[in-house]
Amino acid sequence: MMPTLALKNVNKTFGHGTNEVQVLTGVNFEAVAGEVSLVIGPSGSGKSTFLTIAGGIQTPTSGEVLVEDRSLLALSGKARDAFRLNQIGFILQAYNLVPYLTVADQFTLVDRVKKQGNLSTTELATLLEQLGIAELTQQYPGELSGGQTQRVAIARALYQNPEIILADEPTAALDSDRVKVVGSLLHDLAKQHHKAIVVVTHDLRLQEFADKTYKIMDGRMTLS
Amino acid sequence: MFLALREIRHEKLRYGLIVGMIVLVTYLVFVLSGLAYGLAQQNTQALDTWDASKIALNSDANDSLSQSLITKQTTDKLSLTKHEAYVGQAGVVAKAKGQAKLSAQFLGIQKNQFIYHRLTTIAGHKPTTNHQILVDDSFKDNGYRLGDKVTLNSLTGKYQIVGFTHNAKLSVAPVVYGTLPTWRSLSHVTPTYQAGGIVSDRSTFKGAESSLRTLSLSQFINKLPGYSAQNMTFSFMIGFLMIIAMVVIAVFLYILTMQKLPNYAVLRAQGIPAKVLVTTTITQALLLVVGGLLIGAGLTALTVSVLPFGVPLAFNVPLLVGVTGGILLTGVIGALIPVRIILRVDPVSVIGG
């Protein structure tokens, strides 16, 4: 099966000369539609750099990033913006919420910049129900707890109905019960909606929902 | 627009303060512009009603009508038409029994010439004899009535107010229109002097005599005592206020933008085009400035309605459009300053760990 997202022999170096730091070394990675791929590693292992390269935010020093066999690196800046908007859903550690928009308006903002392909009203209602945040649509992010904010951020990313979901520590602020809800949701999304889901985390509780797990240490990635 | 409006609605205090600041700047600019225009008008109102193009004065009079004397010998050599009119100016203090003294500008004119014809009255009629005067309606506001007998300076004669005219001010003083013989008496000159100046409504007019100097009316107005200095002072004040407004708006927007950068970085990471964020910032600045302008204009209108009579505040459409456009432009320029920061926001900064 053709991978939805693939990184081939990706290297990333920051700095020059004596300040040069090799953050990623020869990374090979594949995410397939219908699967949850977990990337587990400690802080400073290079997993965030991996995520930004996979999402087209950063370019590697060498190597190739392929989305459905097309090179992401060949795209212009604008085309990469459009790619992120249409094909990638980011679930960020810093949360992807705009503080002055209500939960409902977070989705309206997506509608304003991405006119087609988003979830329908019914699908969104189901998603909010699944995440336990259906009652929070008129709240501002500042009025939500950490866990509620994280779940809204997940819903916000999924609302774009992307083919690939890149999640950066999506369960960092959640208790074990909520981890199960989010883990199951990501798993169901992969299976039922045929999404390629990549989760970068050091939360081992998510392992039970993953189809495959990569380990990253000192910039080197291995499939376990 | 969506993001801009939602943010303003959510951050009412923060944006209220910015709008409040813009309101104050706008109010100050409007009032100063109104004062500048009002004062400028009061310098030249009387001249404006003549609709004249040129004025010929004695070449030794330093372009001042009140200092100029033109002899009959000179005017006899000129071939004047119905487009030319004699005028003589003298500063006077008017006083009627039981009324306060009023400083005014006496303008002596000739009955059969165009200035006389172009005068309009709001009450009474134009003077027909040497002892009749037509005065600016500010006399009326100061208690003077039709039929009042007025003394001018220390002249023994009395001059009867036979009419009031509107918008007749010269060098910020109300005008008293009378005859040229009265002007001669006030100026203590003999009948060998015909007038102080010759006014023409022809742009081609030239007082072709070596003792005369012909000026366009705008040149003459600019030479009115204090006129240019006063206008320049107001222009500088308004200009500086505009620059201050721009700097303040820019500083506010810069600070706000800096505070929003993490959000913008998240939105950029999600693929929201930088264009959307830039448009949001500029729209927001425009909304704030337009809001400030509207409230400032309302406040100015309120001020005008309660200002005591005599404050020379006046507005005209081109002036208001110019000032409004200037403030809008400064707002946009202020908003454009943080655009560079938005364009360079790094989405990587929000993905860490």
The domain spans of chain A are 5-223
Look at A178-187, A200-209, B180-189, B195-204 and tell me which has the smallest mean pLDDT: A178-187
| Fold annotation for A5-223 | Rossmann fold (3.40.50)
Residues of chain A with pLDDT > 70, as a percent, come to 97
Of A58, A82, A140, the CB nearest to B10: A140
Q: What is the mean pLDDT of chain B?
A: 88
pLDDT of residue A72 exceeding 50, the answer is yes
pLDDT at B156: 77
Segment A109-148, tens digit of pLDDT:
989 888 888 999 999 999 899 888 999 999 999 999 877 8
Contacts of B348 in chain A (CB under 8 A): 52, 57-58
Q: Which range has highest mean pLDDT (A23-32, A64-73, A161-170, B274-283)?
A: A23-32
pLDDT band at B353 (very low <50, low <70, confident <90, very high): very low
Contact A161, A87 (CB under 8 A): no
Q: Return the amino acid letter for B145.
A: R
pLDDT band at B285 (very low <50, low <70, confident <90, very high): confident
Q: What is the mean pLDDT of chain A?
A: 88
Segment B69-106, tens digit of pLDDT:
999 999 998 888 999 999 999 999 999 988 899 999 99
Residue of chain B whose alpha carbon sits nearest to that of A44: B353
- SS3 of B227, please? helix
Residue of chain B whose alpha carbon sits nearest to that of A86: B271
φ/ψ (deg, to 5) at B88: -135, 135
pLDDT band at B352 (very low <50, low <70, confident <90, very high): low
A188/B contact by beta carbon, under 8 A? no
Q: Which residue has the tokens 């992969």?
A: A190
pLDDT at A173: 67
Neighbours of A117 (CB within 10 A): 11
* Global pTM value: 0.72
pLDDT of residue B30 exceeding 70, the answer is yes
Helix or strand (DSSP H, E) at B10: helix B2-10
pLDDT of residue B40 exceeding 60, the answer is yes
Kindly report the nearest CA distance between residue B6 and chain A, in angstroms. 7
Segment A152-172, tens digit of pLDDT:
888 888 888 888 999 888 887
pLDDT of residue B57 exceeding 60, the answer is yes
Contact A25, A53 (CB under 8 A): no
